[in-house]
Amino acid sequence: MKRMVRLCAAGPLLALLTPLPAVPQQPPQDSQAVIRTGVAEVLLDVAVRDRRGRLVRNLKPGDLEIYENGVKQEIRAFRLAGTNRRRTELTAAPAPPAGGAPVRASRPMPLHAVNLLCFVFHNLDPINRTRALRMAESLLKEEFPPNTLAAVFTLDDYLAPVSPFTDRKQDLLAAVQQAFSGRALNFDQASVAVLTANPTMFTIDVLVNMAAHSATVTDRVTGGEVSKTLVPRADVSMSASANASRGFRARERVDMAHVTGSRAFDQIETMVSQLAQLPGRKSVVLISGGLLTTGDPDAFEKLMAKANAANMTVYSFDPTELDEITDTQAAKTALAQVAAVSRTQTDVRRQPSLSERRQQSRQGDALEVAVRSSDMRAALRELAEGTGGFLVANTSEFNKPFRRVLEEMEARYEVAYRPADLKLDGRLRTIEVRTRRKVLIVESRTGYFALPAKPGGDALAPHEVVGLALLGKDPRPADFDFQSGVFTFGGDPGRRQVALAFEVPGKALTAAQDAARGMARAHVALVGLVKDGSGEVVERFSIDAPYEFALNNLPAMQASRITHAQSLSLPPGHYTVETALLDRTGGRASARAFEIEVPPAAAGLAVSSPMLVQRVEEAGGGNGDPLSYQGRRVVPLVTPALDNVSQPYVYFVVYPDKNRTDKPQLLVEFFVNGQRLAAQTAELPPADPSGAVPMMVSAAKRPGLCELRITAVQGDARATGSVRYVLPQMKAQAP
């Protein structure tokens, strides 16, 4: 007779699992760019501009051709929308042939363009900085068009982001207020004072007294004076030393004019190059106190062509207060200084000093710089108008022009077509829009993922876009290994509840360490598709879970297993599950596909797939979730290899036959390497309102291949399920 042993290491057989600490709840996602998906008629936003970046308003449906996956599509509707907040009528769709079947109504799938609005602060002196901040705060109070994301930048030798792209006005306002948190310049270093000052010149006057046989030598220092009409109400020192300091900077400006112009040109080119990497239409509000160029028209023309090719429109806003004489007076002051130098060459009665001769030899350079730098807004105007924008200057009313910026951002053509041979397989379908007028620049979405409609919206978060793209790659990435498990439960008539579990070792993930804070971070994302036998998507799911934990807990995290369980409702049948798991901290990913079979629900008594339990989360699974247990949620353990420390628990659900009056019982058997070592019988508790009996039992531990077999008995009806796990051999201890 075999000796019976208890299946539980401690406590009764039907013991409740003590809940383990819950995993960190994922924080709410910030507003960010999304990609719309759909399955029927596509409503595509198309922006068309000429080579100068100006909106083209006179297109007809025949001027555009749309290709999806290389196949030309029939345009069913066409209109110009968003211009001056008006909407034109849709072009009537072609009528079905006489006697033919009516056209089936379908849900439109909007592929709206994402508008990127960039606030860029550039070349602002301390006074203009304050005005620029007030201007930006006022502009941010305006209502942005739909699908608009904005960001704040400062432009110096490189384009520095102050905020990420977002549609949260409060975040943008906070970024504007911190845009110039560095040390401010004093007014003497401001560009206006330097541009209006004359170069410093030293003159030595010698007066000879023949009778006394003596001479008087006088040193004169001139230059650096500031025109009070040009810099009104400015508290500027007019002492000889202050004038001399400004004069030296004015001379340096003349000597280094081409270098300064090249630096300013490089700044704008850097801005264009960095923003060109972003998708969609870019509208740049360049808040600048002026732009000095090299005077090379060909280079500037190439820069504007580069901006237009990158779908970028620049709107220049000069925050300088209304002053109609500023540019004119600056030019007069600079030219008067050049004329004064010229007049010194006609005075033959005295010998010019060395500094005067130097200034005379650079008279041509001084004249060129005076012409180029007297109107610092000219280059801003040319840059804006060359990219389809405009210059806003000499005004204190900025909101009205900014509303025009928003209207131009919203202006686009809406084109509708019905994709041919559309298969909802989750793959990327590319879109190409061509125009018969070759001189035009067309910008639109480059594609969409063919997915069925999802309740609650079809928005794809960035991690979902990346995951879907990886699932479409051949071969798929395999940077690390992860395990998957499938568990079937009961369900409604004609459908089964299915739980999919995905498990990755913590050591396979990248942990970013912050030694200063004593913290570490990891970020995991999961994207999955469930396809039927024809290859079409029937379900999709995803999770984006950042984790932050104390740095001293890093070894425990690396020794643990990160698991996500997804509950689905599927009809019986054969399915393919495609899954991409992303290590967002380390920029690594793995993707794979596996087959699952969902059997029909058993008539009468049934038992779900038993599963090993990794932990129980405090957050409940909600109504209808088969993993919900007493207000908490069970997280499966996918890997069957256990250690000798933890106590294994098994979760399953029994579904008694409602048509039987017999009270159901539970038989639990324990096997090691195929040999039955223990068995125990117990009565089941009453079923919940859905007719299910969720159960959690602790299982025995023996070295070897263990199997826990669950059998539900109700009268003469029996239903069985089992789970297997492996425990290593115990190490022999030294005597």
18 is a domain residue:
no
Q: Greater confidence, 550 or 436?
A: 550
User: Is the pLDDT confidence value at 623 over 50?
Assistant: yes
Q: Percent of the chain beyond pLDDT 90?
A: 29
For residues 229 and 326, what is the distance between their CA atoms, to the nearest angstrom?
8
User: What CATH number is attached to the domain comprising 355?
Assistant: 3.40.50.410
User: Is the pLDDT confidence value at 303 over 80?
Assistant: yes
Based on the domain organization, do 370 and 435 belong to the same domain? no
For residues 257 and 261, what is the distance between their CA atoms, to the nearest angstrom?
6
User: Taking the model in full, what pTM does it have?
Assistant: 0.64
> Is the CB of residue 337 less than 8 Å from the CB of residue 371?
no
For residues 571 and 496, what is the distance between their CA atoms, to the nearest angstrom?
6
The residue segments making up the domain with residue 342 are 83-90+107-184+261-410
User: What CATH number is attached to the domain comprising 568?
Assistant: 2.60.40.10
Based on the domain organization, do 571 and 482 belong to the same domain? yes
Based on the domain organization, do 73 and 126 belong to the same domain? no
pLDDT value of position 527: 95
pLDDT value of position 102: 38
> Is the CB of residue 71 less than 8 Å from the CB of residue 420?
yes
User: What are the Cα distances from residue 361, in Å, to 102, 244, 358, 534, 601?
Assistant: 85, 21, 5, 83, 98
- Using 50, 70 and 90 to split pLDDT, how confident is the model at 316? very high
Q: How far apart are the first and last CA of the chain?
A: 34
Domain boundary pick from 429, 445, 460: 460
pLDDT value of position 372: 55
200 is a domain residue:
no
- Using 50, 70 and 90 to split pLDDT, how confident is the model at 550? very high
What mean pLDDT is predicted for residues 563-587? 93
pLDDT value of position 145: 83
Three-state DSSP at 41 gives strand
Based on the domain organization, do 664 and 714 belong to the same domain? yes
**Which pair of structure tokens corresponds to residue 494?**
């004609």
Instruction: Please tell me the least confidently modeled range out of 51-55, 184-188, 730-734.
Output: 184-188
Based on the domain organization, do 400 and 539 belong to the same domain? no
DSSP state letter for 539 = E
Three-state DSSP at 51 gives coil
702 is a domain residue:
yes
DSSP string, 200-249: PEEEEEEEEETTTTEEEEEEEEE-----TTTSTT-----SHHHHHHHHHH
Instruction: Please tell me the least confidently modeled range out of 84-88, 394-398, 409-413.
Output: 84-88
pLDDT value of position 455: 65
Based on the domain organization, do 523 and 669 belong to the same domain? yes
**Which pair of structure tokens corresponds to residue 261?**
């112009």
Sign, CA dihedral 96-100-106-111, equals negative
Instruction: Please tell me the least confidently modeled range out of 47-56, 160-169, 335-344, 489-498.
Output: 335-344
19 is a domain residue:
no
What mean pLDDT is predicted for residues 405-409? 85
Instruction: Please tell me the least confidently modeled range out of 261-265, 524-528, 557-561.
Output: 261-265
pLDDT value of position 286: 93
pLDDT value of position 210: 56
pLDDT value of position 261: 63
Sign, CA dihedral 390-371-119-50, equals positive
DSSP-assigned beta bridge partners for residue 544: 525
Based on the domain organization, do 356 and 372 belong to the same domain? yes
pLDDT value of position 394: 81
Q: Quick one: which of 56, 55, 52, 122 has its CA closest to 301?
A: 52
Mean pLDDT value across the chain:
77
User: What are the Cα distances from residue 43, in Å, to 241, 413, 459?
Assistant: 68, 10, 15
**How many structural domains comprise the chain?**
3
Based on the domain organization, do 347 and 357 belong to the same domain? yes
pLDDT value of position 643: 80
pLDDT value of position 99: 43
For residues 58 and 387, what is the distance between their CA atoms, to the nearest angstrom?
19
What mean pLDDT is predicted for residues 656-672? 92
User: Is the pLDDT confidence value at 12 over 50?
Assistant: no
> Is the CB of residue 683 less than 8 Å from the CB of residue 666?
yes
DSSP state letter for 87 = B
Based on the domain organization, do 613 and 482 belong to the same domain? yes
Domain boundary pick from 460, 490, 523: 460
What mean pLDDT is predicted for residues 466-494? 90
For residues 515 and 552, what is the distance between their CA atoms, to the nearest angstrom?
10
Strands across the sheet with 561-570, in order?
Answer: 483-488, 496-505, 561-570
Residue 26 identity (one-letter amino acid): Q
118 is a domain residue:
yes
170 is a domain residue:
yes
Based on the domain organization, do 395 and 425 belong to the same domain? no
314 is a domain residue:
yes
User: Is the pLDDT confidence value at 344 over 70?
Assistant: no
Q: Greater confidence, 659 or 53?
A: 659
DSSP string, 453-487: --TT---B-HHHHHHHHHHTSSSPPBSS--EEEEE
- Using 50, 70 and 90 to split pLDDT, how confident is the model at 1? very low
Based on the domain organization, do 445 and 406 belong to the same domain? no
248 is a domain residue:
no
DSSP string, 612-637: EEEEEESS---TT-TTEETTEEEEE-
pLDDT tens digits, 155-202? 887 788 888 888 888 889 988 988 887 543 333 333 343 344 455 544
Find all residues with CB under 8 Å of 97, minimum gap 6, and list them. none
pLDDT tens digits, 506-532? 999 999 999 988 999 999 999 999 999
DSSP-assigned beta bridge partners for residue 539: 530
Based on the domain organization, do 565 and 502 belong to the same domain? yes
> Is the CB of residue 308 less than 8 Å from the CB of residue 441?
yes
- Using 50, 70 and 90 to split pLDDT, how confident is the model at 368? low
